[in-house]
């Protein structure tokens, strides 16, 4: 079921990646309980409420974040940006495993428990994996290892160049030059000879 997205306002550079509503089979438990009770008028509100909830709940994944729209008489729109998503998980009950729908739970950093839930969506595993891909792309965690390796390579290259430069300077300044800053024994002998009294008469 393709949801209508007239309630959704996107930024100029934001595109819809995936959108859906709860799976139609998710209304089965309400029907199982509500139809027998409809004879005493108690089950009718149960069935109607489940149907309206199904029709008025929309889930959207965009290139910028996650949206959940709910509400029967009013409209409640919730958004979670990828930079806030801490963890994504999915679960399926007995009926969901058989039919192919389940819940996708989104937890945020600093939040307590599940911040947003996509309830009864088709192929919940694929939806959770798609969300994780965009979270990683947004936070840059996929490129982080390669970036660190590149930085380390640059540092090692620079260190090798510094070492090579120091070794070349050491070779040019060492060795074959003799400095006469300090007096030698020969100089001391010549000075002593000049100071001796002359024996010529």
Taking the chain (201 residues) in consecutive chunks of 10 residues, what is each chunk's mean pLDDT?
A: 75 92 90 77 82 92 95 90 92 92 91 86 95 88 56 80 80 57 52 53 45
Domains and CATH numbers, the chain: 16-22+57-145 (2.30.29.30)
Read off the tokens for 121: 């969506």
pTM: 0.64
Inter-residue contact 127 to 88 (CB < 8 Å): no
**What pLDDT shows up at residue 198?**
53
The string of DSSP codes covering 86-115 is: EEEEEE--HHHHHHTEEEEEEEETT-SSEE
- Nearest residue to 22 (alpha-carbon basis) of 47, 66, 59: 59
Q: How far is 68 from 57, CA to CA, in rounded Å? A: 7
**What pLDDT shows up at residue 135?**
92
Read off the tokens for 136: 């990683």
CA 107 to mean position of chain CA atoms: 13
**Residue 46 phi, psi dihedral angles, 5° rounding:** -65, -45
**What pLDDT shows up at residue 142?**
46
Helices within 14-143 (DSSP H only): 28-37, 43-56, 94-99, 124-139
């Amino acid at each position: 079921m393709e949801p209508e997205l007239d309630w959704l306002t996107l930024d100029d550079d934001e595109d819809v990646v995936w959108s859906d509503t709860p799976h139609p089979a998710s209304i089965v438990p309400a029907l199982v309980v509500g139809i027998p009770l409809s004879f005493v008028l108690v089950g009718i509100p149960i069935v109607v409420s489940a149907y309206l909830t199904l029709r008025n709940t929309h889930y959207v994944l965009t290139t910028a974040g996650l949206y959940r729209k709910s509400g029967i008489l009013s409209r409640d729109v919730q958004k979670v940006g990828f930079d806030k998503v801490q963890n994504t998980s999915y679960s399926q009950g007995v009926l969901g495993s058989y039919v192919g729908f389940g819940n996708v739970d989104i937890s945020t950093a600093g939040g307590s428990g599940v911040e947003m839930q996509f309830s009864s969506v088709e192929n919940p595993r694929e939806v959770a994996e798609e969300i994780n891909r965009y979270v990683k792309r947004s936070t840059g965690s996929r490129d982080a290892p390669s970036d660190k390796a590149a930085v380390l390579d640059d540092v090692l290259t620079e260190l090798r160049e510094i070492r090579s430069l120091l070794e070349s300077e050491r070779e040019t300044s060492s060795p074959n030059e003799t400095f006469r800053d300090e007096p030698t024994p020969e100089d001391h002998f010549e000075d002593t000879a000049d100071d001796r009294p002359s024996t010529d008469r």
